[in-house]
Amino acid sequence: MKKLFTLFLGLWMINAVFAECASGNLIAFPQNEKVSQNSLFMIEGYMLYQDIVQFLGNKYPVYLKSEQEKIPLQVVEYCKGEYDLEQVILKPQRLPKAGVTYVLFVDNLPEYLNTYENGKRLKNRRLNTYYILNEQDTKKPTLSGIPKFMKSIFEQYGCGNDVYAIFSNSAKDDDSEIWVKTTVKNLDTGEVMQYYIKPFNGKLYVGNGMCSGAFNFGDSKQFSVVFSFMDSSGNVSDANIEPVIFENPIYHKKSK
């Protein structure tokens, strides 16, 4: 009986992953509940939500809303990933008020992406809730060292692969979330791609997961990457970081 339960649990988890991959989602950053007055915001969408990200701010209004006011957000940068993933960085048209709680909303989503509450279709999507601190963050991220290649991951799954080159991350910021503008150059073709990644468990993962990802290495072998460290308040580190050469994780694994 225990083995049967474990089997059903495993099947349920696999089905949940497939369902999430098939539909996609919108994810908002920062993920901190408290942010500075001059905080920027980022929205990522994958799978079905990629088309939404492309038109945020016009076809799909995006804004902060409190009990007293509504502040539209405008797109200041757009990045398209190489594997079913896109993102925009957004800036409020005016500073939100300190000491006030705001909710980040997206409006006018098509019916097939609507959410429901108590059986009623909602006309907007509530992403994150933020409490605005009485401060503006002007401090740049600091680095205690330069990023170094650590290892590669290449894991094959039934619905896709995890393919990552992993680098060390020594950036710190006491007040805002770290966003890393990552520029990857394909040394075989000369093609260049840029995308903002977030450190995970103190490391920088460059590549893609089984459902989506910023970078798709394809069949090429040699790449370089440059990291530029920014925080969610728009402060950019002064560190001058040289490109790091790495090998496509698929080839890296084969060579071992």
The reported pLDDT for the residue numbered 8 is 36
One domain, residues 109 and 206:
no
pLDDT in tens, 52-68: 899 999 899 999 999 99
Q: Please report whether residue 16 resides in a domain.
A: no
Least confident of 83-92, 116-125, 132-141, 184-193: 116-125
Q: Please report whether residue 217 resides in a domain.
A: yes
The reported pLDDT for the residue numbered 3 is 42
The reported pLDDT for the residue numbered 10 is 37
Is there a contact between 196 and 215 (Cβ–Cβ < 8 Å)?
A: no
Which residue range(s) make up the domain with 85?
25-132
pLDDT in tens, 194-252: 999 999 998 999 998 888 888 999 999 999 999 999 999 999 999 888 999 999 998 86
pLDDT in tens, 16-46: 343 445 567 889 999 999 999 999 999 999 8
One domain, residues 35 and 53:
yes
Q: Please report whether residue 83 resides in a domain.
A: yes
One domain, residues 153 and 214:
yes
The pTM of the full predicted model, rounded to 2 decimals, is: 0.86
